[in-house]
Chain A
Amino acid sequence: MDLNNTGESSVHSDSIMHSSSRRSISSYHSRTSAANSVREVNFGDLGSRAQTYGSKSAESEGFGTSRKEINDEDARLIYINDPAKTNEKYEFSSNSIRTSKYSIITFVPRNLFEQFHRVAYIYFLAIAILNQLPQLAVFGRGASILPLAFVLFVSAIKDAYEDWRRHRSDKVENSRLASVLVNGQFQMKQWKHIQVGEIIKVTSNQTLPCDIVLLSTSDSTGVAYVQTINLDGESNLKSRYAKQETLSVNPEKENIGGTIKCEKPNRNIYGFQANMEVDGKKMSLGPSNIILRGCELKNTDWVIGVAVYTGRETKAMLNSSGSPSKRSRLETQMNREIILLSLFLVALCTIVSTLFGVWLARHKSELNTLPYYRKKTYADGHEEDYNYSGWALEIFFTFLMSVIVFQIMIPISLYISMEIVRVGQAYFMIRDPNMYAENSHSRFQCRALNINEDLGQIKYVFSDKTGTLTENKMEFKCASIYGVDYSNEAASEQAEQVGYSVQVDGQALRPKMKVKADPELQRMAESGKETHEGRQIHDFFLALAACNTIVPILMDSDEPTVRLIDYQGESPDEQALVYAAAAYGFMLIERTSGHIVIDVQGERQRFDVLGLHEFDSDRKRMSVILGCPDKSVKVFAKGADTAMFGVINKSLNLDVISATEAHLHKYSSLGLRTLVIGMRELNGAEFEQWQSSYEAASTALLGRAAKLRRVASNVEKNLSTLGASGIEDKLQEGVPETIESLRLAGIKVWVLTGDKQETAISIGYSSKLVTSEMTQIIINSSSKESCRRRLQEALDLSRNRTMGSSPIALIIDGTSLVYVLDSELEEELFLLASDCAVVLCCRVAPLQKAGIVALIKNRTDDMTLAIGDGANDVSMIQVADVGVGISGQEGRQAVMASDFAMGQFRFLAPLLFVHGHWNYQRMGYMILYNFYRNAVFVFLLFWYTLFTDYTLTTAITDWSSMLYSVIYSSLPTIVVGILDKDLSRTTLLKYPQLYGAGQREECYNPKLFWITMIDTLWQSIVLYFIPLAAYWKTIVDGSSLGDLWTLAVVILVNLHLAMDIIRWNWIIHAVIWGSIIATIICVIIIDAIPILPGYWAVFHVMSTGPFWLCLLAVPIAAMIPRFIVKVSTQYFCPGDIQIAREAEKFGSWNIQGGGGGIEMIPTSNFLQRQ
């Protein structure tokens, strides 16, 4: 049998044998083939995404490279126990880490440099610099620099504080102690002084100070167990191995010498390649020989190793980068409008400079003596031009000056406000107890701070299955043993199971987790091996207990006489199987590298583990060769059904095989994950042959992995069936309800899973994704032609549907996707998929997941959200517009790549419907309001310019112009952007349809922009011309009128905001009225400075009647059109939001009316507190 059948391998690279494909990729692979894992989980390397999503050959070519020669220029050479020599040639970085960015000296320049990465600040700066030129000095120098300086200063303070905290934690981290070999003795040394090449000893429960290559461990076989929770979040133990050749080394007694040649530091935490030479012996090192910084040593007394990567070159540090930055849809649209605004700006400036040019031409002859122009000066006794550079330059200067004066037409402050608002929104999202996962103690996390509002516009959700829809807590449900189905349905009715336990030295040993056991099967298992049936059952459970890589760990329990066994392992499926075996009396008690001890029905038995063929994604099975107490040698194998039936001897017990197949079908249609277990007894000759080839292969220097694989496939054949197991992957709480409400909200949910078709469909049913009235279209073709045909048929089917016929569920598998993605069939799949209510993709590889997301993203404008929990979801999370990571059981890679992370799938409902909706609505309004707020001020200045001979004098003082967007009107919009909410959480969750407002872009669109701009124009006209007409032909001076305009515009924009506020709480009251009061105070302060021309003006103007009449008339006259439009829209064509608001207020939610038959969803899950 050709196991290198690559055609199948990549497509099925996800396996069902292990809990999850991600795990199999991330850790299992890496042990067998470093090259593979480099390819697959290179999640850090965002740049190199030249993927072909349907790639077929990703897997196979990597084999055989397990001992690749490392080029000298790509390698670092380490002399063991000789740090001086190691560091001689190249200065490797020290082990002190620096997460802080600045030192006291570099703070100012570096911080400024970083801050000026923002375009907004550069614009600010350019304007401020222009203003410093004497010809263009429109504003006072101080006034023009102040806002920028203020913003820079505040950000700098914030950065400095954050950096100080980082300095502090760095210091703590760097001064931790580790035991290092110095002059033949282990001494305590601070972490920061550890050098590459030094020998380090780490004892149990200590954290690794740097990346070390193992030399020896307390275990005689060189195994060490580590917990990598700080690295990838996986809490289970992983085993690492010291090389046989170095096991006996005791560096305290003898001087050890040698070299390690390893690759340059890189961020791949699952890959490592090196060659070690000790005492003339050469050996190759792989990822299983290195322990990384941040790991914790467990279950092993001590390890000794050589530091290879230190400090910032450790893999943990290289991986601690932020998530990629995305830009929100709203912001992209906003930038489009900002371009329009800059065109307005140019237009205004052109108008002003043109008119100025015309004026200059018409008054050319008068300029010399014009009292308010006076081109001529006689200051130095002779006649010359004063401050005049010819008409062309004058016009040009006027243009530049008008840019300076009208600068806030481009609402630069908006960018800063948006950042503050997003931080505020994130604060509320994080603090939402409804999105707190009790079982994993994880809060919601906002990792990307710039796409909050995208959450309100999602149209597609791409979800992973395992760990996302399901809990990824495996539970052994049923077994089929020798053709007999033992489904413990009866057991589930029994109330509480007493866990099985054994007595050892007066103490009871009990598995940590209890499993519901089938009493019938339990009784039969106890009855022993007498019957044929009994023997089969015995072997079956023995296989479950033995054929795995689980490490039992004894723990103390609350009761003194009872100790608990915790089964630690990399695969939850294996854990579930071992717990199940324990419940049926086959309790795994001890594992060393040479043997395991299993308590079989109260009798301790020792099995020698002669060999272990670990899982790999080609074989999709694992096997163990056991030397049993009765001196027989047996091979136990377990694996995916497809992989196992290939190696099972079909001539034996055909009935059993067919019965097992039937049971497998039944299990998977129940949504269970299935494994087939097989066994064979080896006779002496076979064993000899296997042993010699196994030893040869495992000591091979070249192509070890491939050789081992060949040995494995030679022994894994002609197996007899023992049976099959069904493991339930439980649905997470609230998943069906969430999916139902997502659908009500008009969001399409696609499930992308590595599971097989039947499992995927059954999960689809149980999660209410697929319902029985749906028409299922299943595409699982094995050639491009048949794929094309199926697609065409399906398209015809979907096109010929009449209104009201049943919705379509599309189920497509990874093999077909290979032919579809990156080919001309993509378009057809897209057309078909967009017609379907549900799309289920099964057996998909990680890159295919990304390909499917890209399929939608590239063809539509719809927002996509990808949610997943494992390393294989990383690519899809990064491709989607919004990536959500589930911080669950499968490590942190998905979380690290995500924009938002949360504990459970059901939090998607509050995240999208409540926070997403609010964020979108708030941000959309805020952008429009900021456009209006700045433009109305610019227009006000513009109108005045027309009355100053186009010379850009401002009646409003420099300081007020600058403070306008900083103090006078900035806080209310920020607070409203954080706090205002159109509808309550209850309503939004109850009626997911309200989410449509974001999908339809109701809060921000070009139409609203233009309406806002027309409104702005009208308001600015009222604002300018009412005071102008009231004070025409009077003795009013510029400063007084300027103060009137300042107060009027601030009151107007704040009242405008007040009119649109939906919920008034005390904070909003405080900022709105507070801003107006602050403005009055500022104006008074500015007018109390005697050397400014406007000294005392505000008091004089306040004592005149028209001042108060204007102040009252301006806001009301300005807002009447807006008010009319608002009221009329709300009354004549109310949106859903408006109706819902009214209903909320008047409590008339008895929604039976209308068209009737409006389905309501169970809401109790979401409405815990209301």
Chain B
Amino acid sequence: MNQKGGTSSAGNGGSKSSSSAANRNSKKPKYSRFTQQELPACKPILTPGWVISAFIAVGVVFIPVGLASLSASERVVEIAYRYDRTCVPPDYRKNLVAYIQSTETNKTCLLNLTVPKQMKHPVYIYYHLDNFYQNHRRYVKSRSDKQLRSREYERDTSSCAPEATLGNAPIVPCGLVAWSLFNDTYQFSVNDKSLKVSKKDIAWKSDQKRKFGSDVYPKNFQIGGLIGGAKLNSSIPLSEQVDLIVWMRTAALPTFRKLFGKIEVDLEANQTISVVIQNNYNTYSFGGKKKLVLSTTSWTGGKNDFLGIAYLTVGGLCLFLAISFILVYVFKPRPLGDPSYLSWNRNSAVQMN
């Protein structure tokens, strides 16, 4: 008996049936490994061997890496000194904000730091701020990358409020980030011989080249009602204002360090370094901390034991797991693919009993 092909819907009347008649014989799906979902495939199974080797492999990789990273961190010499409190004269200890806001007070502060171990050059000088939310939404948005980049966009300050314009004139660089530029300065001397602080390469090359324009000069900066931080020399283009460039790379976290400069000589152990700090930056109004940090560096960055410890923990755990799984497999073996474990076989086994 003649039969009907199949797919044409009632809707399209005759036109479809003629075509379906034509390819009636070719309707059978062609066999291919793809349409049959039989592409060559590897089907890994977590056999005991694989599991144990995986754990051992992780352990074997992680423990040496952890040790290496710990020792690297160990070799880093770091001097950190919190000066925001000690640099305030005792009379003002009760009224920190008034002290820092006053133009009358003497902001110069002297300290002596002792080098605990030899520090090979370059020794990096950081300022460390605490509880300063450079990642605050209002703050990170308050900048104009276009304006920083080229003179044409000088008036592109729409995103910069509340530090966008002065009267009608645009502020360059505009925005809260630039406005709050850190303005403490440090001078170092060892044995009354001043140490040169190099500012070379403290900012990213890429920023200097393409993000901060060489034809953009500071304008109307820091002359409004509220002074937020450092002033800029308006005769130097932004691409050379390395402290600004460093500051404008807003920190990821509320506790952060920024590069102040580098000392290009070795510091010997037990040397005493005298530091003259101009304590200008106001962290007092929000309870922020300021620290001066001198540190060498290693391939893992600064002094931070966390990664080393984490690696050792994970590696150790994996070795422990490897051993426990070996014990499990030895004392409680289960043959793989044993049909008697299938639920329907188990049930019938129960019934037999």
A interface list, Cβ under 8 A from B? 97, 99, 169, 172-173, 176, 207, 229-235, 293-294, 296, 316-317, 319-320, 363, 366, 369-374, 376-379, 381, 383, 386-387, 427-428, 430-433, 436, 438-443, 445, 473, 513, 572, 575, 804, 887-889, 892, 896, 901, 903, 947-949, 951-953, 955, 979, 981, 985, 991, 993, 996, 1026, 1028-1042, 1062-1068, 1090-1093, 1095-1096, 1099-1100, 1104-1106, 1109-1110, 1112-1113, 1116-1117, 1120, 1123-1124, 1126-1127, 1130-1132, 1134-1136, 1139-1146, 1148-1151, 1153-1158, 1169
Q: Are A372 and B134 in contact (CB under 8 A)?
A: yes
Q: How far is the CB of B8 from chain A (nearest CB, A)?
A: 7
B343 and A951: CB pair below 8 A? Answer: no
Q: Which of B84-92, B140-148, B186-194, B235-243 contacts A (4 or more CB under 8 A)?
A: B140-148
Residues of chain B with a CB closer than 8 A to A430's CB: 29
Minimal beta-carbon separation of B41 from chain A (angstroms): 4
Complex Cα distance A376/B249, Å? 24
Alpha-carbon gap, A466 to B62, bound state (A): 68
Contact indicator A892/B337 (Cβ below 8 Å) = no
A-B contact pairs, 17 of them (CB 8 A): A172-B15, A371-B180, A378-B225, A387-B162, A431-B35, A575-B1, A903-B6, A951-B136, A1036-B256, A1100-B204, A1130-B46, A1141-B337, A1145-B336, A1151-B339, A1153-B340, A1154-B346, A1155-B352
B135 at the interface (CB under 8 A from A): yes
Enumerate chain A residues within 8 angstroms of B337, measured Cβ to Cβ.
1139-1146, 1148-1149
Are A1031 and B252 neighbours in the complex by a CB distance under 8 Å?
yes
Q: Assess whether B318 is interfacial by the CB under 8 Å rule.
A: yes
In the bound complex, residues from chain A placing their C-beta under 8 Å from that of B54 are 1123
Which B-chain residue is minimally distant from A1133 (CB atoms)? B341
Neighbouring B residues of A1112 by C-beta, 8 Å = 65
* Cβ–Cβ < 8 Å partners of A1036 in chain B: 251-253, 256
A1131-B328, A1153-B339 are known contacts. Are A371 and B348 too (CB-CB below 8 A)? no
Number of A-B contacts (CB under 8 A): 394
Q: Which residues of A contact B226 (CB under 8 A)?
A: 369, 374, 376, 378
Residue pair B140, A1113 in contact (C-beta under 8 Å): no
Contact between chains at B13 and A1139 (CB < 8 Å): no
Pick the contact of B285 from A366, A572, A1117, A1132 — CB < 8 Å? A366
Q: Count chain B residues whose beta carbon lies closer than 8 angstroms to a beta carbon of A.
A: 126
Contacts of B282 in A (CB 8 A): 371
Interface contact A372-B251, CB-CB below 8 Å: no
- Residue pair B58, A1116 in contact (C-beta under 8 Å): yes
Given the interface pairs A207-B13, A207-B14, A371-B228, the reply to whether A1093 lies near B307 with Cβ below 8 Å is: no
Interface of chain B residues 13 through 54 with chain A (CB within 8 A): 13-17, 24-25, 27-31, 35-37, 39-46, 48, 51, 54
CB A549 to nearest CB in B, in angstroms, measures: 17
Interface string of B58-84 (1 = CB under 8 A from A): 100010010001001000000000000
Interface residues of B (CB under 8 A from A): 1-17, 24-25, 27-31, 35-37, 39-46, 48, 51, 54, 58, 62, 65, 69, 72, 126, 128, 132-140, 143, 145-146, 149, 161-167, 176, 179-180, 204, 206-207, 210-211, 224-226, 228-229, 249-259, 282, 285-286, 298-302, 304, 306-307, 310-311, 314, 317-318, 321, 325, 328, 334, 336-352
Complex partner residue of A374 from B140, B167, B176, CB under 8 angstroms: B176
Q: How distant is A416 from chain B, measured CB to nearest CB, in Å? A: 23
B29–A1095 contact, CB under 8 A?
no
Please determine whether B251 and A1037 come into contact, CB atoms closer than 8 angstroms.
yes
Chain B residues, Cβ within 8 Å of A947 = 135, 253-254
Partner of B336, one of A1146, A1154, A1158: A1146
**A1033 to B139 Cα, complex, angstroms:** 20
Q: Is the CB of A371 within 8 A of B135?
A: no
A376 to B253, CA, bound (A): 24
Residue on A nearest B249 in the bound complex, by CB: A1037
B28 in contact with A1158 (CB, 8 Å): no
Q: How far is it, in angstroms, between the C-alpha of A903 and the C-alpha of B4 when the chains are bound?
A: 11
Contact A1034 B12 (CB under 8 A): no
Would you give the shortest CB distance from A564 to chain B, in whole angstroms?
Answer: 12
The 4 A-B residue pairs whose C-beta atoms are closest, nearest first, are A320-B11, A377-B162, A1143-B337, A1155-B348
Which residues of B are found within 8 Å of A1096, using beta-carbon distances? Answer: 204, 206-207, 211
| A1109 and B311 contacting across the interface, CB-CB below 8 Å | yes
User: Would A1064 and B17 be within 8 Å (CB), given that A230-B10, A896-B10 are in contact?
Assistant: no
Question: How far does the Cβ of A521 sit from chain B's closest Cβ, in whole Å?
Answer: 25
Nearest B residue to A369 by beta-carbon distance? B285
Contact B136 A1065 (CB under 8 A): no
Give chain B nearest CB distance to A1070 CB in angstroms. 11
Which residues of B are found within 8 Å of A1156, using beta-carbon distances?
348, 352
Chain B residues positioned under 8 Å from A1139 (CB to CB): 337-339, 341-342
Q: How far is the CB of B301 from chain A (nearest CB, A)?
A: 5
Q: Report A662 CB to chain B, min CB distance, Å.
A: 32
B300 & A294 in contact (Cβ 8 Å cutoff) = no
Question: Do A1109 and B300 touch across chains, with their CB atoms under 8 A apart?
Answer: yes
With a cutoff of 8 Å between Cβ atoms, the chain A residues found around residue B149 in the complex are 1090-1091
The complex places the Cα of A307 from the Cα of B200 at a distance, in Å, of 92
- Pairwise interchain contact A386-B140, C-beta atoms closer than 8 A: no
